[in-house]
Structure 1
Amino acid sequence: MSDTFTTRTVHIETGGHETVTDLTGECERFLGEAAAGRDGLLNVFVPHATAGIAVLETGAGSDDDLLTALRDLLPADDRWQHRHGSPGHGRDHVVPALVAPHATLPVIAGRLELGTWQSVCLVDTNVDNPDRQVRLSFLG
């Protein structure tokens, strides 16, 4: 049975454009305080109906490729039943079905165990809401 549950909400400004925001540094800072060298699990959760959490490579084009793929799969046009905000905003409400609003990751000896090129990222296609909250929770 675990001994500790610690949680924190961080505020992320995504701006007025589609974005993939690397949260890895924020996760590592949180674990530096919360995990204190213990093994456990980090849960990353975005409590928004139009954003998701992805584990992927950043900086080599994969983040832009993800946004391009989402644009191709979910065009910002008038086909969507959900209509308010920017044209095509209904597609933003479908994004979390493809990019889940959460990820649970292993923590070993207080450190996030990611692969060499993996980063924890907030995926936000909603240009109408640049203010995001991300909940980080450590169980260990």
Structure 2
Amino acid sequence: MPHHTTTLAFDTPGPGLTEITREVADWLESTGVETGLLTALCRHTSASLLVNENAARAVQHDIVAWLDRVAPESSAYAHDDEGPDDMPAHLKAALTGVSHSIPVSGGRMMLGTWQGLFLAEHRARPHRREVALHVVGEP
């Protein structure tokens, strides 16, 4: 069974969710895999990946607001090497996860009707983030 890998880079505007479904789907199509399993891994400890609703932007806003309430910036953290947003970003990444495995059928990710793949930036300023992709499957 063929394996394909790549790393895609994304510029984030700062805190929030950036939908990367189209870029991942375009790469997947280029591999020629029709049936298989796609794995996506965010290569950072202060950013993460989410599969969630991609139709209503209010969902994305509410997720970010909830994460801010759960892991707020605070001087209470021992780890603040890169500023007050440093440790909260690590906590948010731990809560939301850095990888997803997505089945592939007909050359497409088997996401639900309203699902998209999002890169979540948890730091206070823009960053360049990398997402490693691996697909194994049959043409």
TM-score (norm 1): 0.91
Q: Which runs of 5+ in 2 are unaligned?
A: none
Aligned mates of 1:4, 1:65 — CA distance in 2: 40
Q: Is the 8 A contact 2:2 2:136 kept in 1?
A: yes
**1:42 and 2:38 are equivalent in the alignment:** yes
Instruction: Tell me how large the CA RMSD over aligned residues is.
Output: 1.3
Aligned pairs for 1:62-73 (under 5 A) are: 62-73=59-70
Per the TM alignment, residue 75 of structure 1 is displaced from its structure 2 partner at its CA by: 0.5
SS of equivalent residue, structure 1 residue 68? helix
The percent of aligned pairs where both chains have the same amino acid is 27
Per the TM alignment, residue 128 of structure 1 is displaced from its structure 2 partner at its CA by: 4.5
Aligned pairs for 1:16-95 (under 5 A) are: 17-34=14-31, 36-60=32-56, 61-95=58-92
Equivalent of residue 136 in structure 1, options 120, 125, 133: 133
Residue type of the alignment partner of 2:34: R
SS of equivalent residue, structure 1 residue 30? helix
Q: Which runs of 5+ in 1 are unaligned?
A: none
SS of equivalent residue, structure 2 residue 111? coil
Larger proportion of strand:
2
Listed one character per residue, the Cα deviations across residues 47-77 of structure 1 (whole Å, up to 9, x for unaligned) are 1011111000134111111100100100011
TM-score (norm 2): 0.92
Q: Is the 8 A contact 1:24 1:120 kept in 2?
A: yes
Q: Is the 8 A contact 1:85 1:128 kept in 2?
A: no
Q: Is the 8 A contact 1:86 1:128 kept in 2?
A: no
Q: Is the 8 A contact 1:78 1:88 kept in 2?
A: no
Residue type of the alignment partner of 2:105: I
